Structure formats: structure tokens, C-alpha cells
Amino acid sequence: MSIVNSRRSRDLYSIFSQGFERVVAAQRRTFGTAYDSYRDQWSRAERREILTPVPLQLDIDLASRCNMSCRYCNGMPYILRGEEYRINLQLLRLRLDEAVGRGIRSLNFGNGAEPLLTADEMFPLISHARSLGVIDLFVHSNGLLLSRRMSRKIIEANVTFLCISLDALREETYSRYGRKGFPAILENIDGFLEQRRLAKSDTPGLRISFLPTTDNIGELDDFIYQWKDKADKIDIQSVIDLDKSFNLDRIPGFIKFSPACVSPWTRMAIWPNNSYGVCCQPFCLSQSGGMNNGSLADKSIAQAWQSSLMNRVRTGLISDDAVTACVKCLDSYYRYDEDKIATGDHDRQ
Ligand code: SF4
């Protein structure tokens, strides 16, 4: 595999290999025109031209658990406080049954928690979602529990993309983030690719992400070089520095910017305490921030999506009158200048 394309979209700089195109082709083969129609809806929603009756994507955490404590993770407030919550699976299924037929096309597991810790609950839910007509399925993991057996289950579940947040080229850098198990994770990823080869499957695609910080920015070019022939997509993320403690203003190449947020037109979060969040930012969970969008027990997904709070957030984002949480959020973004990123052999000479 090799890099075929790279582009910036709002808060991500993405580098695509041929494998990415194979994943898209596989989705088209499986879902036919429904896939193109969903992607078209997504593009129009991102341009804020349409508001679908339910979100196109749900970002779901089934439990407030993680097996790492990363320094740069915004984390879910209750993970950081050590509180345990688990989603009411029966209630979640009921809400999905009501809403998928109205247009939910994508589920993402692993928003602020580690989804492989709840694999026993996640796989039956994935299979149920597929039977209801969900097209894209994403699993965002740190890769620590990605055994070969787990890889086979992910492949058999027809997940669209397995997304691993790696963020480092060297173990020393990885450990500096408060993380553990770097060699095991690299081996797990190789094991996943081997299992996918054995299954002769184009899916799940492998997406590797890199959050550029003062600790790892010197490794970025080599990171891309290392992963360009293995990953189907490499995403260089933007940093959300809410309390301005990362000092990115002082590091050459980092640019402060405010992305046009389209999240309330495309996706909504479901937290493990059985509540809806306006968006997938963990800080939006806080009751005091006014971004908690009610309980699964009281509202359907459609009602939460069309709530007065969601509409107020949308209006604020398009009218220069953003709600307080959005103002703070949009004032916190930093990205690394993509003109300084080497994506090919020629850039390295
Ligand atoms: S807090 Fe507001 S601006 Fe930030 S992601 Fe959520 S909806 Fe968008």
C-alpha cells in the first residue's frame, strides 16, 4: 500500500492509502446505492444544508471505563472521578429500534472510554445495528486488548474501521503520556492485519491517529513513514487545549484556529450514564456546562436530536451567538501546519 491522497477537513489532516479506497469499494458492494445516498446526506449535513430527522451517527460509550490514563485525554469526567456507569442495554436497543429506520447510518464505539473492555456487550449490539440497517461501524480503541481472537471478532462483525490512537513512534514517548504496553500494541496491530489478510477481507480498514503535542511533534514525519504502508488512513488530529496548558502557541508549526463545527448536524453522543450529549466532546457531559441533552429513559433519539437545546446550539453556531460551551470549545483548537508534514519519500530527502 502507499499514500494516494491527503487532505484537511475542519479539525483533521488525513492521509489516505489505497486500502482506504478498498474499504469504500467494499461498503459500496455491500450496501449499493444506500451507501452513496448516506454519504451524500453526510456531505449535505456537513454543509448545514439539511437537518435529518435523527443523527446520521451516534457516538456511544457502553461503560465509563478505560484501561489507560493518558495525559492528553480530555477523558470523560466520570472516568476521571473513578465513577462506574454502564449503559442500560435494553433501553439503548429500544432507542435504536425506534430511530435507525428514520436515518441513523453510522455507530461509533469508543468516544471517551475503551470499547474493547465492553466487547461482550458491543458485538451483539453491532450485529443488531447491522440487522436494522446501519451502514458504517467504527471502533476507536487504544489497542491494548486487541488480541488475535478479538481481531477475528472485529473482522467477523464487519466493522468498517478499526481506529487506534497511537500518537507516538517510540515507546519512550508513548510512556511519557502515562500510557503502557506500546510493544504489545504494535504486535496486536500486526496480528490484526494478519487476521484480516487470512480472512481475505478489505474491512475493517485500519485508521491510526496521531495527536501532535510538544512531546511527539519531532516524530511526526517518521510516524507517517512507518505507518503509510500499513494503515489505510492516518489522521493527524487537532488538539483541544481547554485550559491552555499545552503551551502550543510557543511551538513553531502549531496554528490556533476555530473550525466550523458541524457536529450538531451530523452526530450525537450517548454516554454510559444513559444520557444524550449535544456532541462527542467529553466536557459537554458536565451538567453545569448546560450541554447535557436529557436521559434515554425520557426521550427518544429523535426527540433529543430535535430538542430546544440542540436547536439553540445550532443557531448559535451559525449566527455568531454560540452557547458558552461552544465559545470555549472553539477557542481551544490548535492544529499542526500541514505544509510542514512530510507525506512521501520525496519529502524526506
Ligand atoms: S462544544 Fe459546541 S463547538 Fe464544540 S464540538 Fe460541541 S457543539 Fe461543536
* Ligand 1 atom at minimal distance to the Cα of residue 261: 8
Rounded Cα distance between 313 and 301, Å, is 17
151 Cα–ligand 1 center, Å:
33
281 Cα–ligand 1 center, Å:
7
- Any atom of ligand 1 within 6 Å of the Cβ of 162: no
Would you say 72 and 242 are in contact if contact means Cβ atoms under 8 Å apart? no
Would you say 86 and 80 are in contact if contact means Cβ atoms under 8 Å apart? no
Q: How many helices (H) and strands (E) does the chain have?
A: 13, 14
- Any atom of ligand 1 within 6 Å of the Cβ of 264: yes
* Ligand 1 atom at minimal distance to the Cα of residue 313: 7
Q: Going by CA atoms, what residue is nearest to atom 1 of ligand 1?
A: 326
* Ligand 1 atom at minimal distance to the Cα of residue 323: 2
270 Cα–ligand 1 center, Å:
15
Q: Going by CA atoms, what residue is nearest to atom 6 of ligand 1?
A: 279
pLDDT beneath 70, residues of the chain: 1, 74-75, 283-289, 344-349
- Any atom of ligand 1 within 6 Å of the Cβ of 329: yes
- Any atom of ligand 1 within 6 Å of the Cβ of 313: yes
The pLDDT of residue 1: 57
pLDDT digits (tens, 9 = 90+) for 235-276: 999 998 888 888 888 888 999 999 999 999 999 999 999 999
The pLDDT of residue 248: 87
The angle at the Cα of 241, spanning 237 to 246, to the nearest 5 degrees, equals: 100
* Ligand 1 atom at minimal distance to the Cα of residue 317: 3
User: In the structure grid, which three cell numbers stand for residue 187, read together?
Assistant: 504486535
pLDDT digits (tens, 9 = 90+) for 93-128: 999 999 999 999 999 999 889 999 999 999 999 999
**DSSP letter string, 150-184:** HHHHHHHTT-SEEEEE---SSHHHHHHTT---HHH
Instruction: Reduce the secondary structure of 214-277 to three states and give it as a string.
Output: CCCHHHHHHHHHHHCCCCCEEEEECEECCCCCCCHHHCCCEEECCCCCCHHHHEEEEECCCEEE
User: Amino acid letter at 273?
Assistant: N
- Any atom of ligand 1 within 6 Å of the Cβ of 261: yes
* Ligand 1 atom at minimal distance to the Cα of residue 329: 4
Rounded Cα distance between 145 and 216, Å, is 24
The pLDDT of residue 88: 98
280 Cα–ligand 1 center, Å:
8
Three-state SS for 284?
Answer: helix
The pLDDT of residue 44: 98
279 Cα–ligand 1 center, Å:
6
* Ligand 1 atom at minimal distance to the Cα of residue 325: 1
Report the b/e string of 313-334 with b at 16+ CB within 10 A. bbebbeeeebbebbeebbebbb
Would strands 292-295 and 275-277 be described as parallel, antiparallel, or unpaired? Answer: antiparallel
Q: Could you tell which of 59, 276, 281, 321 is best to mutate to test the pocket of ligand 1, judged by most ligand atoms within 8 Å of the CB?
A: 281
